[in-house]
Chain A
Amino acid sequence: MSRRRGASNVRGPNSALTEFLRVEGITENFRRRRERETEQQIADLTQDSSDDVNESSTTADNTEVEASTSGSRSTIRDIEEDEDVQQIRLAARRKRRAAGEQISDDEDDGNNVGDSDDEDYVVGNEYKIEGEEDTCIECHQPFKLSVYSRYDKLRKGYLCEDCNELIKAEERKKRKNQMSAKRRRKRVAQALLDKSFVKIPSLQDVCIKVITSNIDQVETLGDIGTSNLNEISKILSKNRSLDNSTMALFLNPNMTKIEFWDCSNVDSDSFNKIASFCPNLTSLTLFMCGQFHNDNLVYFSDKLNLNELNLNGPFLISDVMWQEFFENGGKNLENFEIRNTHRFGNDSLISLLENCGSSLKSLKLSRLDGIDSAAMYELIPHYLTQNCLETLEISYPKSEELVTNELIINVLSMCEGSLSSLNLDGCSDLTDSFTQEMVKFNLDKLTSLSLKNLDQIKDFDFTNFKNNGLISLNLYKCVELSEASVYSILKHSCSTLVELCLNSVPVSKNFWWQIFTPNNDELKKRYLKSDSDDESENDDEDDDESPKAFYDELSFPNLTSLDLGFVRSVDDQVLNLISKKCPKLKVLEVFGDNRCTFGAKVREDLIIIGRQGDLN
């Protein structure tokens, strides 16, 4: 108090209450005296409006807090608890002191500024004047107070310079850590927003960079051979780095086959280079070729004599241009694949069939919204040569009724003896009458069958199917397919199957158990017995009619890839069985099968994808 009175008369702005109190002579000492008599009232009266709740409460139960803090000696860490508030106040006070400002407002810091003449204070470390001797609250060593001494509010005492330095260092360190953490978070967030990932470049990236920068001197990149070139084109496409410059790597006159799986960065001019640099080209695959232009196709039909053309996404080629192409340069096409363009219309299809239909060995039509008449699809079988077509794909037509049972049956009758691959994904209008007819055909060369999303198919009995066994079978989301059909298909092809997808096909756990358990297993025999009690003497192979079906044990010696996503019956036990019974299985997908856990005991070389636990 005396310190302040002794100082200059400069005063800051005062509240009306402060001014009133000053005029009335109600000073700090006066307040303390009154407080002893009527503690609560005075405390309320002297509250300055600027005091925060925290402080007012400490003032109110002054004695209690002090008693408790003096009882328990806390460490440096305790100070940090109330750090925010404390720091703000400390900083403010330091600033004020440094500026040598006269603290005029008595009430303003009435509670950190303790009062020397008050017997309420048990500890001797209350408000002091600089220069006075004091005992450090931390190390309990005597020291001389200075204006820079830190007041520990929690423990009601001052800290000596050494302890203060320690705390300061700790605070600095903490702030620094916070800053660097913040900076790191910011950088990661920034990268996220830029959609770029901060990571070490992969060796492939490094290689591609070197290749790109040296593309003009192809010979410096080392000799690699034509077969590897296609490999490199695949890798470049996979890394999305196939562009105008990297493409130059593949342009040499010896090339007869080019496969570019991602042409999205190749522009129209560069497409022309393919035709001019590789005159011997017979097979061309361009996927994602959104920049493939009418002029390119004209140039191609002039320069090249293609017998295989696979295009994905050539939506700049107009209907008229397709017709011109088939009439001129495209006459020798034997393999034609086109996907994802709405401009390949009815007339284009007719032109294709008229000009190349009789020699077609492979025809793939997928997602062609330009073909909007069932009559057009029905033309296909009329132009085909008997037993010539080997690969057929008609998938995802504009609407499902465009591809009918009759159409597919007619096509099959034309290529019965030659068809090796059939893909009818998304032709969801196909029903059981198609499957019943299909198995009557002699499709002995058929090895690959894909029937995704055929949600009307219930029965698909392979028992009498004249076929040497499928290698690849996709029944993705054939959700109505009966368990007996699945069994007949697997029984028919189990020894040849390499890839199998039964995603979302409803089969029971009993089914899995039975096909993976030997017929002479005791448990299975007993199960069979209990079954034949219902249906007298019926322990033959397929007992499809009874609710309790009996399935033979099947083995899958060649199966390498299996998708059982959303086949909910698959659990750890089924995984164990699969792991044992499919010795060559490498990849097993179990997305959505939430009973598959890491508890399953599977071979170490079997990769299981899609278990819920993988997320953690």
Chain B
Amino acid sequence: MSSEDFVTLVSADNHRFIISKEVASISSVLKNTQGFEESKTGKINLDMDGDILECVVEYLYYHYKYREQAETGNIPEFNIPTHLALELLVKADYLDI
């Protein structure tokens, strides 16, 4: 894969997560940023802390990995740290995931 296929998510406290575009586009919000400046720089600045963004990235890959198997119903549970639940909910709502 070339660098074209990846996008960098930058958290408010400057943690960087380089993930594949295909995975990022699970979130319609991240997907829609690709026609704008973000597509040129390959960077998306997000207003969330690193630990939250880490959870988000984990979830995106979880979703990506198991979306084929979703039908059969036997996919492992996705766990999140309890102390982040509320904040994560707000951000997940924003990202539409």
Query: What residues of chain A have their CB less than 8 Å away from a CB belonging to chain B?
Result: 184, 187-188, 198-204, 206-208, 210-211, 214, 220-222, 224, 228, 231-232, 235, 238, 604-605
Decide: B83 and A200 in contact? CB cutoff 8 A.
Answer: no
Decide: A222 and B89 in contact? CB cutoff 8 A.
Answer: no
Chain A binder among B9-17, B40-48, B74-82: B74-82
List chain A residues, Cβ under 8 A from B93: 204, 231, 235, 238
Ordered by A's residue number, 24 sampled pairs between the chains whose C-beta atoms are within 8 Å are: A184-B71, A188-B71, A198-B71, A203-B78, A204-B89, A204-B93, A206-B80, A207-B80, A207-B85, A207-B86, A207-B88, A210-B82, A211-B89, A214-B85, A221-B82, A222-B83, A222-B85, A222-B86, A224-B86, A224-B90, A228-B87, A232-B89, A235-B93, A605-B35
A589 to chain B, nearest CB (A): 17
| A200 CA / B72 CA spacing, docked (Å) | 11
| A187 CA / B72 CA spacing, docked (Å) | 8
A604 with B80, Cβ < 8 A, contacts A200-B66, A204-B93, A235-B89 known: no
| A201 CA / B87 CA spacing, docked (Å) | 18
Decide: A210 and B90 in contact? CB cutoff 8 A.
Answer: no
| A605 CA / B35 CA spacing, docked (Å) | 7
Q: A214-B82, A238-B93 are in contact. List 19 more A-B contacts (CB 8 A).
A: A187-B73, A200-B66, A200-B67, A200-B75, A202-B92, A203-B80, A203-B92, A204-B93, A206-B59, A206-B80, A207-B86, A220-B82, A221-B82, A224-B86, A224-B87, A232-B90, A235-B89, A235-B93, A605-B36
| A187 CA / B89 CA spacing, docked (Å) | 30
Residue with the greatest number of chain B CB neighbours at <10 A, chosen from A207, A208, A214, A222? A207
Decide: B70 and A222 in contact? CB cutoff 8 A.
Answer: no
Give the bracket for the number of chain B residues in contact with chain A.
20 to 34
A199 with B78, Cβ < 8 A, contacts A231-B90, A604-B35 known: no
| A199 CA / B95 CA spacing, docked (Å) | 18
| A306 CA / B32 CA spacing, docked (Å) | 43
List chain B residues, Cβ under 8 A from A199: 70
List chain A residues, Cβ under 8 A from B67: 200
Decide: A198 and B90 in contact? CB cutoff 8 A.
Answer: no
A144 to chain B, nearest CB (A): 46
List chain A residues, Cβ under 8 A from B84: 222
B56 within 8 A of partner (CB): yes
List chain A residues, Cβ under 8 A from B62: 200
B57 to chain A, nearest CB (A): 11
Decide: B71 and A203 in contact? CB cutoff 8 A.
Answer: no
Query: Which listed residue, B36, B70, B72, B89, touches A207 by the CB 8 Å rule?
Result: B89
List chain B residues, Cβ under 8 A from A188: 71
Decide: A207 and B78 in contact? CB cutoff 8 A.
Answer: no
| A575 CA / B56 CA spacing, docked (Å) | 36
| A222 CA / B35 CA spacing, docked (Å) | 35
B97 within 8 A of partner (CB): yes
A220 with B83, Cβ < 8 A, contacts A207-B89, A211-B89 known: yes
B21 within 8 A of partner (CB): no
List chain B residues, Cβ under 8 A from A228: 86-87, 90
| A576 CA / B79 CA spacing, docked (Å) | 46
| A123 CA / B17 CA spacing, docked (Å) | 71
Decide: A232 and B36 in contact? CB cutoff 8 A.
Answer: no
| A605 CA / B31 CA spacing, docked (Å) | 11
List chain B residues, Cβ under 8 A from A187: 71-73
| A154 CA / B5 CA spacing, docked (Å) | 53
Residue with the greatest number of chain B CB neighbours at <10 A, chosen from A200, A222, A604? A200
Decide: A211 and B78 in contact? CB cutoff 8 A.
Answer: no
List chain A residues, Cβ under 8 A from B95: 203
List chain A residues, Cβ under 8 A from B79: 206
Decide: A206 and B78 in contact? CB cutoff 8 A.
Answer: yes
User: Which residue of B has the minimal Cβ distance to A206?
Assistant: B78
User: Which residue of A has the minimal Cβ distance to B32?
Assistant: A605
List chain A residues, Cβ under 8 A from B86: 207, 211, 221-222, 224, 228, 232
